[in-house]
Every structure is written in structure tokens, then in C-alpha cells.
Amino acid sequence: MILQALVSIDPVRAREDPVIVKNIPYFKAKKALEAEVMKLDPPPRPQNWGELNLPLNASSWSEKDLKDPKKLYEMTVLLNAQREISEKMLDAQWEAKWREEKLNKMLEEKVRPYIQNIDNAVLPQPIVMESERNQDQKIPDAKPISETPWV
């Protein structure tokens, strides 16, 4: 009930909070990989990647406005600022996308051997290991039900 409330109030925290996350080793490994990916420098954004619909363009000003040097300067400054801001936004989007893809690729590389082992029904070691004390106290072979005296 509390978990559902937190998920509905703050889904991002619910996905990342170690108290809520059920698979703690996976969570810790994923956070370590995220830290590793954050240290990497992303490649530069390709020129043809992404497009923003910019609100201002040269046609936003009339020809009469462009004859006024102050209006022309204002237009130049606004268009340059808009272009710089849009470039920074595209760079940030590119970097976030690249980091997400890199993290997913690294997670897949780390998890794939375990998935393949599960698919092949081969486990690297027993899930439950017998304690040394239990190995000494072996249970005698059970008799078939037909041989038991009370049946």
C-alpha cells in the first residue's frame, strides 16, 4: 500500500530508491555502471541529428523594421541567442541519449552471460549449498509406501 502510494506520488524515486527496489544487487550494479558512464565523454553530436522548431526567424521582422539599425541589431542578437540555446539543448539531448544507449549496452553485456546460463539451464554454482553438518547426517533411503508397516 505504501509502495503504491510512493509510486503514484514520485515514480522516479520509487524506481531508484534502494529501500523500495526489490533486486538490490542489480540496483547497485546498475548505479555503478551509471557512474561509470557519466565519467565517459560522449562523442560530438552529428550535424544532422535532431531538429528544433525555432520560434524566431528573419521573417519575424518586417522590411520596415530591418531598415532601422536598432531593430536589425535586436534581430541579429535574438537570432544568435536562439541558435546558441537551441544548439545547447540539442547537445544536452544528444548526450543524454548517448549515455542511455551506452548504459543499456553495458548492462546487456554484463547481464547476457547470466541470461544465457539460465536459458541453457546451466547454473554456475548450486543455488542452495548443503552445510557441512548436513553432509554428515545423511537421511537413509526412504522405503516405498507399500513397504511401510502402517499402510
Annotated domain spans of the chain: 1-39, 41-121
Q: What is the pLDDT of residue 10?
A: 75
Q: What is the pLDDT of residue 83?
A: 92
Q: What is the pLDDT of residue 7?
A: 64
Q: What is the pLDDT of residue 8?
A: 72
Q: What is the pLDDT of residue 128?
A: 47
Q: What is the pLDDT of residue 127?
A: 45
Q: What is the pLDDT of residue 54?
A: 85
Q: What is the pLDDT of residue 1?
A: 55
Question: Per residue, what are the HEC states of the chain?
Answer: CHHHHHHHHCHHHHHHCCCCCCCHHHHHHHHHHHHHHHHCCCCCCCCCCCCCCCCCCHHHCCHHHHHCHHHHHHHHHHHHHHHHHHHHHHHHHHHHHHHHHHHHHHHHHHHHHHHHHHHCCCCCCCCCCCCHHHHHCCCCCCCCHHHCCCC
**Which pLDDT tens digits describe the chain residue by residue (151 residues)?**
565 666 677 777 766 766 666 667 777 788 888 899 999 999 999 888 888 888 888 888 898 988 999 999 999 999 999 999 999 999 999 999 999 999 989 888 887 776 665 555 554 554 444 545 444 444 445 445 555 455 4
pTM: 0.58
Q: What is the pLDDT of residue 20?
A: 64
